[in-house]
C-alpha cells in the first residue's frame, strides 16, 4: 500500500510538471513536505474524496442496492380510484383582466431579473458542483446532503423547462440518465426528502415536457422501486430514515417509534402520481394504507383534529404532545387538499381530514400577534397540552408555516370555505410583515411574537437567563414594562417580536409560495408588489459570485452569508418568483386548475386536465 501511495505521489508531481519536475520538486522541498502530502493522499484513498473544497457528508463504501423478495408481501393492492367529482375553480378569472403596456413592461422586466438570477445560480452549480447535491455558493465546490445523486440537478429540471432553458434542460436530462440510484452517500436515506426532491423533480419534468423524455419516468420508477422496500415492514409504514445497506443485506428493519409526522404523512402526492403514470398500483397502495391510519387516529390524539409532530410508527401510537403546522408536521397538512386534487376528488376522506384539521387549527394554532402597526395579521403557532390537559399556545412564528396561507386559499376554493380565504390573507400578511420588519427585509427561521398589549412583559418573560439581564443592577426593580423595554434594547429585539430564536434565512420558499397562490386565487396585483419587495431584499442579501447563499442573521442590514444553497432555491423559491411575474393565462404558466404542485414546488398534471 505504502509503495502504491509513494508512486502515486510521484505520479502527482509527474502529472503536474513532468517526471523531471516531480523529481526536482521532491529533492528541493524539505523532507516534511512529503509526509504531509502523503497524509493528504492517504485521506484521499481512504475516503475517496477529491482534494477539492467539495465534500460528501458521509461515505459508506460501495454497497449496491439489489431487489430482494418482500418479507411482508402485499397481494391485494388498493386500486387507484377511477371516478372523480367536479372540483370548483381555484384561479381568479384572469381573462377578464387587461394590463396596460406600462404594467406589462414592468412585469416582464422583473421576470427577466428572476430568470437572470436563476441562470446565475444554475451556472454556479454546473461549474462547481454539477451532478452533486449542492453547490457551495461562497467558496465553490460541493456538498452532498441528499444521497449524492445530484439533488440540485434533479430538483431544478422543471424550473429549467418552465423558464424555457431548453438546451440546459436537455443537458440535465442526459446527466440524470447516468445517475446510479443503486448506491449513495447516506447511511440512513431520508425517504421523504428523496421522494419530494428526486421523485417529485423527475415526475414533474416528465409531466411538464409532455412525457417526451421517457427516461425521466424510468429513473423515477427505478428510485421509487428502491424506496418501496422501505415500506416492507409488518404494518407497511415506511422506515423513514432507512438504513438501506442493512436492508440490502437482508436485515429486517421496522418503522421508528420516533417518526416525524411530515416524513410519513407527505409521500402521497408523489407515490400517487407514479401509480397514475405507470399504471402500477403498488405505490398508491402503500400511501392509501398510511392514510387509513391517519383517518382513524385524527380524533384520538391529544388535540383531536391534529396529528402530533412525532408518531410512533412502529406501534402506531399518536400520543405525542406537540402540534404545529410548522417544521416536522407541515407538508402532511399541505398534502391533504393536494392528494384530493390529484385523485380528482374521488376520495372524500382527504377533504374531511383537511376540514377537521383546519377547524382545530383555527381554534388552537392561529393567533393574532400584537405588532406595531396593529394590523390584523395572523400567525400559526405551536400548541401542546398543559399538565391539566388544557391546550396552551406557544406564540412562535416559523418561516416554514408560511405555506399555510396558500394551503388555506386553495382549500377555500375547492372545499367551498369562503371564510378561509380571509384567514389565508391574514396569515400571509403576517409573513409579509415579518419580512418587512427586519433590517435586512428577510423573515427569520423562527421567532416569538405576542398576542396582546402585554408586549414588554412578554419580552421579560422570554429573557430570563442571567446573561440576558440588564447590566445596570439598579433597573432590576423597574416595572415589567420598563424592564422589558430595556431587555428589548439590550437583546436586539425588533419591534413586534418578543424574542428571536433562529435568525437565519436559508433561501426558503414558503412566503413567496403563498404569495404566488394568493395572487392566482385573488388576482390582486398588490401581491406582485409584495413579491418584488421581498425579491429585492433576498437578492441583496444572498447573492454571491457563484450563486446565492443562506444568511446568518436577518437582523443585520447587510447580513453575513453562510456557504450553503439548498436545492429548493432553484426548485421552489425562484420558480415561485418566476410564476408570480408570469401571465397567468399564458402557456406553461402552471394553471392551478390544471396542475398540483408537490411540497417541493414540482407541478404534476391533474387528471381532470386534457
Residues found near ligand DMJ in the complex (CB under 6 A): 330-331, 508-509, 568, 572, 599-600
Q: Which is nearer to ligand DMJ, 291 or 599 (CB)?
A: 599
Q: Which is nearer to ligand DMJ, 125 or 568 (CB)?
A: 568
- Non-local (6+) Cβ contacts of 529 within 8 A are none
Q: HSE-up of 536 (CA within 13 Å, CB side)?
A: 8
- Rounded-to-10 torsion of CA 8, 9, 11, 15: 130
Q: How far is the CB of 469 from ligand DMJ (least distance, A)?
A: 35
Q: Which is nearer to ligand DMJ, 128 or 602 (CB)?
A: 602
Burial code of 307-319, b = ≥16 C-beta within 10 A, e = fewer?
bbbbbbbbeeebe
Q: How far is the CB of 102 from ligand DMJ (least distance, A)?
A: 35
**Active-site residue set:** 193, 330, 445, 510
Burial code of 197-225, b = ≥16 C-beta within 10 A, e = fewer?
bbbbbbbbbbbbbeeebeebbebbbbbbb
Q: Which is nearer to ligand DMJ, 240 or 247 (CB)?
A: 240
Tell me if 599 is assigned to a ligand binding site. yes
Closest C-alpha among 537, 522, 547, 532 to residue 577: 532
Distance separating alpha carbons of residues 440 and 150, to the nearest angstrom = 31
Length of the chain: 610
Q: How far is the CB of 230 from ligand DMJ (least distance, A)?
A: 19
Q: Which is nearer to ligand DMJ, 232 or 572 (CB)?
A: 572
Phi and psi based region of residue 601 (left: phi greater than 0; alpha: psi -120 to 50; beta: remaining): left
Contact 156, 588 (CB under 8 A): no
Distance separating alpha carbons of residues 157 and 476, to the nearest angstrom = 58
Q: How far is the CB of 400 from ligand DMJ (least distance, A)?
A: 6
Sign of the CA dihedral 218, 173, 596, 421? positive
Phi and psi based region of residue 371 (left: phi greater than 0; alpha: psi -120 to 50; beta: remaining): beta
Q: How far is the CB of 571 from ligand DMJ (least distance, A)?
A: 8
Residue 497's H or E segment, with its range, is strand 497-500
Closest C-alpha among 366, 369, 380 to residue 496: 369
Long-range contacts of 34-38 (CB under 8 A, 24+ apart): 34/9, 37/9, 37/12, 38/5, 38/6, 38/9
Q: Which is nearer to ligand DMJ, 361 or 488 (CB)?
A: 361
Q: Which is nearer to ligand DMJ, 56 or 572 (CB)?
A: 572
Q: How far is the CB of 10 from ligand DMJ (least distance, A)?
A: 47
Q: How far is the CB of 200 from ligand DMJ (least distance, A)?
A: 9
Sign of the CA dihedral 474, 478, 484, 485? negative
Distance separating alpha carbons of residues 333 and 416, to the nearest angstrom = 18
| Gyration radius of the chain over CA positions | 26
Q: 3-class SS at 212? A: coil
Q: How far is the CB of 509 from ligand DMJ (least distance, A)?
A: 6
Q: Which is nearer to ligand DMJ, 239 or 402 (CB)?
A: 402
First-to-final CA distance of the chain:
63
Question: Which residue has the CB atom at the shortest distance from ligand DMJ?
Answer: 599
Residues tagged in the binding site annotation: 599
Residues tagged in the binding site annotation for Ca(2+): 599
Amino acid at each position: 500500500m505504502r509503495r502504491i501511495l509513494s508512486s502515486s505521489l510521484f505520479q502527482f508531481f509527474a502529472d503536474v510538471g513532468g517526471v523531471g519536475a516531480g523529481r526536482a520538486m521532491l529533492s528541493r522541498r524539505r523532507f516534511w513536505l512529503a509526509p504531509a502530502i502523503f497524509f493528504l493522499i492517504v485521506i484521499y484513498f481512504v475516503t475517496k474524496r477529491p482534494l477539492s473544497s467539495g465534500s460528501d457528508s458521509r461515505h459508506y463504501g460501495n454497497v449496491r442496492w439489489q431487489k430482494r423478495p418482500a418479507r411482508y408481501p402485499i397481494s391485494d393492492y388498493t386500486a387507484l380510484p377511477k371516478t372523480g367529482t367536479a372540483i370548483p375553480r381555484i384561479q381568479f378569472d384572469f381573462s377578464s383582466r387587461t394590463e396596460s403596456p406600462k404594467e406589462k413592461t414592468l412585469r416582464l422586466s422583473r421576470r427577466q431579473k428572476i430568470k437572470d438570477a436563476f441562470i446565475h445560480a444554475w451556472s454556479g452549480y454546473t461549474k462547481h458542483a454539477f451532478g452533486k447535491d449542492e453547490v457551495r455558493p461562497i467558496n465553490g465546490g460541493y456538498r452532498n446532503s441528499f444521497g449524492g445523486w445530484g439533488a440540485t440537478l434533479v430538483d431544478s429540471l422543471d424550473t429549467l423547462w418552465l423558464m424555457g432553458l431548453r438546451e440546459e434542460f436537455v443537458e440535465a436530462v442526459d446527466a440524470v440518465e447516468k445517475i446510479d440510484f443503486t448506491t449513495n452517500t447516506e447511511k440512513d436515506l431520508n425517504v421523504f426528502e428523496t421522494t419530494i426532491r428526486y421523485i417529485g423533480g423527475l415526475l414533474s419534468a416528465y409531466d411538464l415536457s409532455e412525457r417526451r423524455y421517457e427516461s425521466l419516468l424510468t429513473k423515477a420508477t427505478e428510485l421509487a422501486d428502491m424506496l418501496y422496500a422501505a415500506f416492507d415492514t409488518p404494518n407497511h409504514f415506511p422506515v423513514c430514515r432507512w438504513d438501506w445497506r442493512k436492508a440490502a443485506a437482508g436485515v429486517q428493519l421496522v418503522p421508528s417509534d420516533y417518526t416525524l409526522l411530515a416524513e410519513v404523512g407527505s409521500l402521497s402526492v408523489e407515490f400517487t402520481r407514479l401509480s397514475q403514470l405507470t399504471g402500477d398500483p403498488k405505490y398508491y397502495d402503500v400511501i392509501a394504507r398510511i392514510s387509513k391510519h391517519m383517518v382513524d387516529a385524527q380524533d384520538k390524539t391529544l388535540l383531536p383534529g391534529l396529528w402530533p409532530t412525532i408518531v410512533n410508527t412502529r406501534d402506531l401510537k399518536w400520543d405525542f404532545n406537540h402540534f404545529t403546522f410548522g417544521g416536522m408536521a407541515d407538508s402532511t397538512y399541505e398534502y391533504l387538499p393536494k392528494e384530493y386534487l390529484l385523485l380528482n376528488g374521488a376520495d372524500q376522506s382527504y377533504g374531511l381530514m383537511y376540514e377537521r384539521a383546519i377547524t382545530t387549527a383555527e381554534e388552537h394554532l392561529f393567533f393574532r400577534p400584537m405588532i406595531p402597526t396593529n394590523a390584523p395579521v395572523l400567525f400559526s403557532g405551536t400548541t401542546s397540552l398543559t399538565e391539566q390537559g388544557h391546550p396552551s399556545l406557544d406564540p412562535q412564528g416559523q418561516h416554514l408555516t408560511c405555506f399555510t396561507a396558500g394551503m388555506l386559499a386553495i382549500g377555500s376554493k375547492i372545499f367551498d370555505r369562503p371564510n378561509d380565504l380571509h384567514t389565508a390573507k391574514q396569515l400571509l400578511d403576517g409573513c409579509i410583515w415579518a419580512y418587512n420588519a427586519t433590517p435586512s427585509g428577510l423573515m427569520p427561521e423562527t421567532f416569538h411574537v405576542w398576542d396582546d398589549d402585554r408586549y414588554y412583559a412578554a419580552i421579560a418573560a422570554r429573557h430570563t437567563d442571567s446573561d440576558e439581564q440588564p447590566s445596570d443592577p439598579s433597573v432590576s426593580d423597574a416595572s415589567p414594562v420598563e424592564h422589558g423595554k430595556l431587555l428589548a434594547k439590550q437583546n436586539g429585539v425588533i419591534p413586534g417580536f418578543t424574542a428571536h430564536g433562529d435568525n437565519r434565512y436559508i433561501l426558503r420558499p414558503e412566503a413567496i409560495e403563498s404569495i404566488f397562490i394568493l395572487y392566482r386565487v385573488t388576482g390582486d396585483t398588490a401581491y406582485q408588489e409584495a413579491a418584488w419587495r421581498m425579491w429585492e431584499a433576498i437578492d441583496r442579501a444572498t447573492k454571491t459570485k457563484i450563486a446565492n447563499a443562506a444568511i446568518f442573521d436577518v437582523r443585520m442590514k447587510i447580513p453575513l452569508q453562510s456557504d450553503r444553497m439548498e436545492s429548493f432555491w432553484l426548485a421552489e423559491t425562484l420558480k415561485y418568483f418566476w410564476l408570480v411575474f408570469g401571465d397567468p393565462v399564458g402557456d406553461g404558466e402552471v394553471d392551478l386548475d390544471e396542475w398540483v404542485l408537490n411540497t417541493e414546488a414540482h407541478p404534476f398534471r391533474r387528471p381532470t386536465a386534457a
